[in-house]
Amino acid sequence: MTTEFTNDQLNLLKAKLDPRLTKTRPGSGRQLTYIGGHTAIDQMNRIFGYGNWEFEPVSCDLAIMVDPLTGEGLGCAYNAIGKLTVNGKVIIEVGSQTVSPSSM
């Protein structure tokens, strides 16, 4: 497999994220860990260099979660597709974010 990333970039991508950069919040009956948008941007700039990457949301769809036995609403999730371009190469990823009923 060939890659357009340098060895330094691959090592940075494989490395554990500094826990001081993460935040937590309650969700779906447990504690969720995430990074804020500014932190993600800072890390992309650190790894790929300012101006060498860009992100574009392609779609974001709301999915309502319903208990199939009772019909009760359990919450919702956002299913998103984003287009990440690094050094002119496009990477498409599908992701989702569950939203707990208490935050709806």
Contacts of 38 (CB under 8 A, 6+ apart): none
Report the CATH architecture of 7-103.
Answer: 2-Layer Sandwich (3.30)
For the CA atoms of 6, 8, 20, 38, the dihedral, rounded to the nearest 10 degrees, stands at -30
pTM of structure: 0.66
Choose the weakest-confidence range: 7-11, 57-61, 68-72, 98-102. 98-102
- Measured CA to CA, the distance from residue 77 to residue 5 in angstroms comes to 32
| pLDDT computed for residue 101 by the predictor | 45
- Measured CA to CA, the distance from residue 29 to residue 12 in angstroms comes to 32
Residues above pLDDT 90, as percent of the chain = 28
